[in-house]
Amino acid sequence: MESHYAALLEKTRLPQPSFQRFAVVSIFRRLESSPGALVPASTTCHEAISQCLRSHSSAVVDQAVRELCRLVASSNRLPTSVALIELQSDLEGCEPHLAPVFVKGIGFLCSIAFRNNESWVRHFDRVELHPFVKVLSCCEEAQEELIQQVLLFIVRNKSLGINEVVRFLRPFIMFSVMWKPTSCTYFFSRNLISEIASLSCSFPLEAIIILKFLTKCLKYFPSTNEKVATLNFLLFIA
Protein backbone atom coordinates (compact mmCIF):
# COMPACT_ATOMS: atom_id res chain seq x y z
CA MET A 1 0.00 0.00 0.00
CA GLU A 2 1.18 3.54 -0.78
CA SER A 3 3.08 5.15 2.08
CA HIS A 4 0.65 8.06 2.63
CA TYR A 5 -2.27 5.64 3.13
CA ALA A 6 -0.17 3.41 5.37
CA ALA A 7 0.73 6.33 7.63
CA LEU A 8 -2.89 7.43 7.95
CA LEU A 9 -4.09 3.88 8.57
CA GLU A 10 -1.53 3.60 11.34
CA LYS A 11 -3.07 6.67 12.98
CA THR A 12 -6.47 4.95 13.04
CA ARG A 13 -4.95 2.60 15.63
CA LEU A 14 -4.19 5.41 18.08
CA PRO A 15 -6.16 5.11 21.34
CA GLN A 16 -7.87 8.53 20.97
CA PRO A 17 -11.20 8.39 19.06
CA SER A 18 -10.89 12.00 17.86
CA PHE A 19 -7.51 11.24 16.25
CA GLN A 20 -8.94 8.06 14.74
CA ARG A 21 -11.84 9.94 13.17
CA PHE A 22 -9.53 12.63 11.79
CA ALA A 23 -7.33 9.95 10.23
CA VAL A 24 -10.33 8.31 8.55
CA VAL A 25 -11.53 11.66 7.18
CA SER A 26 -8.02 12.32 5.84
CA ILE A 27 -7.95 8.93 4.12
CA PHE A 28 -11.22 9.58 2.33
CA ARG A 29 -10.22 13.12 1.35
CA ARG A 30 -7.08 11.70 -0.21
CA LEU A 31 -9.14 9.06 -1.98
CA GLU A 32 -11.39 11.76 -3.40
CA SER A 33 -8.42 13.66 -4.77
CA SER A 34 -7.07 10.60 -6.58
CA PRO A 35 -7.82 10.47 -10.32
CA GLY A 36 -10.40 8.19 -11.93
CA ALA A 37 -12.87 5.76 -10.44
CA LEU A 38 -12.13 4.70 -6.88
CA VAL A 39 -13.37 1.10 -6.76
CA PRO A 40 -12.87 -1.50 -8.08
CA ALA A 41 -10.30 -0.03 -10.46
CA SER A 42 -7.90 0.95 -7.70
CA THR A 43 -6.72 -1.85 -5.44
CA THR A 44 -5.05 0.70 -3.18
CA CYS A 45 -8.28 2.65 -2.67
CA HIS A 46 -10.26 -0.50 -2.03
CA GLU A 47 -7.76 -1.76 0.53
CA ALA A 48 -7.74 1.57 2.37
CA ILE A 49 -11.53 1.62 2.63
CA SER A 50 -11.69 -2.04 3.66
CA GLN A 51 -9.13 -1.62 6.42
CA CYS A 52 -11.10 1.25 7.92
CA LEU A 53 -14.37 -0.68 7.79
CA ARG A 54 -12.77 -3.78 9.34
CA SER A 55 -11.27 -1.92 12.26
CA HIS A 56 -12.08 -3.03 15.80
CA SER A 57 -12.56 0.60 16.82
CA SER A 58 -16.13 1.89 16.96
CA ALA A 59 -14.95 5.41 16.11
CA VAL A 60 -13.05 4.26 13.02
CA VAL A 61 -15.90 2.12 11.68
CA ASP A 62 -18.54 4.77 12.37
CA GLN A 63 -16.54 7.49 10.61
CA ALA A 64 -15.64 5.19 7.71
CA VAL A 65 -19.31 4.33 7.10
CA ARG A 66 -20.22 8.02 7.26
CA GLU A 67 -17.47 8.96 4.80
CA LEU A 68 -18.35 6.13 2.43
CA CYS A 69 -21.99 7.22 2.34
CA ARG A 70 -21.00 10.85 1.85
CA LEU A 71 -18.70 9.87 -1.00
CA VAL A 72 -21.49 7.98 -2.78
CA ALA A 73 -24.00 10.78 -2.24
CA SER A 74 -21.71 13.60 -3.39
CA SER A 75 -20.15 12.11 -6.51
CA ASN A 76 -20.47 9.36 -9.11
CA ARG A 77 -16.95 8.08 -8.65
CA LEU A 78 -18.00 5.28 -6.32
CA PRO A 79 -21.03 3.27 -7.55
CA THR A 80 -23.74 2.68 -4.97
CA SER A 81 -23.76 -1.04 -5.76
CA VAL A 82 -20.05 -1.32 -4.97
CA ALA A 83 -20.45 0.54 -1.67
CA LEU A 84 -23.40 -1.68 -0.71
CA ILE A 85 -21.42 -4.85 -1.39
CA GLU A 86 -18.57 -3.51 0.72
CA LEU A 87 -20.81 -2.74 3.70
CA GLN A 88 -22.68 -6.04 3.43
CA SER A 89 -19.43 -7.98 3.30
CA ASP A 90 -18.01 -6.20 6.33
CA LEU A 91 -21.28 -6.58 8.24
CA GLU A 92 -21.01 -10.36 8.00
CA GLY A 93 -17.66 -10.40 9.77
CA CYS A 94 -18.01 -7.49 12.17
CA GLU A 95 -18.23 -7.54 15.94
CA PRO A 96 -21.86 -7.57 17.17
CA HIS A 97 -21.77 -4.09 18.71
CA LEU A 98 -20.70 -2.61 15.36
CA ALA A 99 -23.53 -4.19 13.33
CA PRO A 100 -26.02 -1.28 13.71
CA VAL A 101 -23.45 1.11 12.24
CA PHE A 102 -23.24 -0.92 9.03
CA VAL A 103 -27.02 -1.26 8.84
CA LYS A 104 -27.42 2.52 9.05
CA GLY A 105 -25.04 2.86 6.13
CA ILE A 106 -26.86 0.19 4.10
CA GLY A 107 -30.20 1.89 4.73
CA PHE A 108 -28.82 5.24 3.60
CA LEU A 109 -27.31 3.78 0.43
CA CYS A 110 -30.59 2.02 -0.40
CA SER A 111 -32.35 5.39 -0.34
CA ILE A 112 -29.66 6.93 -2.55
CA ALA A 113 -29.96 4.12 -5.11
CA PHE A 114 -33.77 4.21 -4.99
CA ARG A 115 -33.82 7.94 -5.70
CA ASN A 116 -31.19 7.91 -8.44
CA ASN A 117 -32.19 4.84 -10.43
CA GLU A 118 -35.83 4.00 -11.15
CA SER A 119 -34.94 0.50 -12.36
CA TRP A 120 -32.94 -0.34 -9.23
CA VAL A 121 -35.87 -2.02 -7.46
CA ARG A 122 -36.17 -4.54 -10.29
CA HIS A 123 -32.85 -6.08 -9.25
CA PHE A 124 -34.52 -7.67 -6.24
CA ASP A 125 -37.07 -9.92 -7.85
CA ARG A 126 -34.69 -12.59 -6.51
CA VAL A 127 -35.31 -12.13 -2.82
CA GLU A 128 -31.84 -13.26 -1.72
CA LEU A 129 -30.32 -10.22 -3.47
CA HIS A 130 -32.34 -7.68 -1.49
CA PRO A 131 -30.04 -5.59 0.78
CA PHE A 132 -32.38 -5.81 3.78
CA VAL A 133 -32.78 -9.57 3.34
CA LYS A 134 -29.02 -9.94 3.41
CA VAL A 135 -28.88 -8.00 6.67
CA LEU A 136 -31.62 -10.08 8.28
CA SER A 137 -30.05 -13.33 7.12
CA CYS A 138 -26.60 -12.67 8.54
CA CYS A 139 -26.91 -10.55 11.65
CA GLU A 140 -29.39 -11.00 14.47
CA GLU A 141 -27.79 -8.14 16.42
CA ALA A 142 -28.86 -5.66 13.74
CA GLN A 143 -32.58 -6.45 13.75
CA GLU A 144 -33.67 -3.47 15.83
CA GLU A 145 -31.69 -1.04 13.69
CA LEU A 146 -32.97 -2.75 10.54
CA ILE A 147 -36.56 -1.93 11.50
CA GLN A 148 -35.56 1.70 12.01
CA GLN A 149 -33.95 1.80 8.57
CA VAL A 150 -37.10 0.40 6.96
CA LEU A 151 -39.13 3.16 8.57
CA LEU A 152 -36.61 5.78 7.46
CA PHE A 153 -36.71 4.40 3.93
CA ILE A 154 -40.47 4.90 3.82
CA VAL A 155 -40.26 8.44 5.20
CA ARG A 156 -37.43 9.49 2.89
CA ASN A 157 -38.91 8.08 -0.29
CA LYS A 158 -42.71 8.14 -0.03
CA SER A 159 -42.75 11.36 -2.06
CA LEU A 160 -41.45 9.36 -5.04
CA GLY A 161 -44.53 7.12 -4.97
CA ILE A 162 -45.69 4.81 -2.22
CA ASN A 163 -46.34 2.00 -4.69
CA GLU A 164 -42.67 1.97 -5.66
CA VAL A 165 -41.66 2.05 -2.00
CA VAL A 166 -43.88 -0.95 -1.28
CA ARG A 167 -42.52 -2.71 -4.36
CA PHE A 168 -39.00 -2.37 -2.97
CA LEU A 169 -39.95 -3.50 0.52
CA ARG A 170 -42.26 -6.36 -0.52
CA PRO A 171 -39.58 -9.08 -1.01
CA PHE A 172 -37.97 -8.22 2.32
CA ILE A 173 -41.19 -8.11 4.35
CA MET A 174 -42.47 -11.34 2.81
CA PHE A 175 -39.12 -12.97 3.53
CA SER A 176 -39.20 -11.82 7.16
CA VAL A 177 -42.68 -13.31 7.61
CA MET A 178 -41.94 -16.63 5.89
CA TRP A 179 -38.30 -17.07 6.93
CA LYS A 180 -37.49 -20.10 9.10
CA PRO A 181 -39.94 -19.68 11.98
CA THR A 182 -38.23 -19.24 15.33
CA SER A 183 -39.20 -17.12 18.32
CA CYS A 184 -36.59 -14.52 17.29
CA THR A 185 -37.73 -14.18 13.67
CA TYR A 186 -41.38 -14.27 14.71
CA PHE A 187 -40.95 -11.33 17.06
CA PHE A 188 -38.92 -9.47 14.45
CA SER A 189 -41.59 -9.81 11.76
CA ARG A 190 -44.33 -8.96 14.24
CA ASN A 191 -42.50 -5.82 15.38
CA LEU A 192 -41.64 -4.88 11.79
CA ILE A 193 -45.25 -5.01 10.65
CA SER A 194 -46.48 -3.25 13.78
CA GLU A 195 -43.99 -0.39 13.38
CA ILE A 196 -44.78 0.07 9.69
CA ALA A 197 -48.52 0.07 10.41
CA SER A 198 -48.09 2.67 13.15
CA LEU A 199 -45.93 4.85 10.91
CA SER A 200 -48.43 4.68 8.05
CA CYS A 201 -51.03 6.36 10.24
CA SER A 202 -48.98 9.53 9.81
CA PHE A 203 -49.52 9.44 6.04
CA PRO A 204 -53.28 9.43 5.40
CA LEU A 205 -52.95 9.46 1.62
CA GLU A 206 -50.49 6.59 1.47
CA ALA A 207 -51.67 4.57 4.47
CA ILE A 208 -54.29 2.47 2.69
CA ILE A 209 -51.76 1.09 0.20
CA ILE A 210 -49.34 0.15 2.97
CA LEU A 211 -52.00 -1.39 5.20
CA LYS A 212 -53.51 -3.47 2.41
CA PHE A 213 -50.09 -4.92 1.72
CA LEU A 214 -49.47 -5.66 5.40
CA THR A 215 -52.78 -7.45 5.81
CA LYS A 216 -51.85 -9.71 2.88
CA CYS A 217 -48.56 -10.53 4.61
CA LEU A 218 -50.30 -11.55 7.80
CA LYS A 219 -51.91 -14.62 6.25
CA TYR A 220 -48.45 -16.18 6.19
CA PHE A 221 -47.98 -15.67 9.92
CA PRO A 222 -48.22 -18.68 12.24
CA SER A 223 -51.83 -19.15 13.32
CA THR A 224 -52.00 -17.52 16.76
CA ASN A 225 -54.32 -15.33 18.76
CA GLU A 226 -51.78 -12.55 18.35
CA LYS A 227 -52.07 -12.84 14.57
CA VAL A 228 -55.82 -12.36 14.83
CA ALA A 229 -55.37 -9.36 17.13
CA THR A 230 -52.84 -7.78 14.79
CA LEU A 231 -55.06 -8.36 11.76
CA ASN A 232 -58.02 -6.80 13.56
CA PHE A 233 -55.86 -3.80 14.46
CA LEU A 234 -54.80 -3.28 10.85
CA LEU A 235 -58.35 -3.61 9.58
CA PHE A 236 -59.54 -1.13 12.22
CA ILE A 237 -57.00 1.61 11.40
CA ALA A 238 -57.48 1.03 7.66
Residue 98 lies in a domain: no
Q: What is the dihedral of CA 86, 110, 127, 174, to 10 degrees?
A: 130
Dist CA 62 CA 24 (whole Å): 10
Provide the 10 A C-beta neighbour count for residue 161: 13
Residue 135 lies in a domain: yes
Residue 86 lies in a domain: no
Using the predicted structure, report yes or no on whether residue 216 has a pLDDT greater than 60. yes
Q: Note the pLDDT of residue 32.
A: 83
Residue 229 lies in a domain: yes
Using the predicted structure, report yes or no on whether residue 225 has a pLDDT greater than 60. no
Residue 215 lies in a domain: yes
Residue 134 lies in a domain: yes
Query: 202 lies in which domain range?
Result: 125-238
**How many domains does one find in the chain?**
1
Residue 73 lies in a domain: no
Residues 172-193: pLDDT tens digits?
Answer: 998 888 876 555 667 888 889 9
Residue 173 lies in a domain: yes
Residues 81-128: pLDDT tens digits?
Answer: 889 999 999 998 899 999 999 999 999 999 999 988 877 777 777 788
Q: Note the pLDDT of residue 158.
A: 92
Residues 37-79: pLDDT tens digits?
Answer: 565 556 777 788 899 999 999 999 999 999 999 999 987 778 8
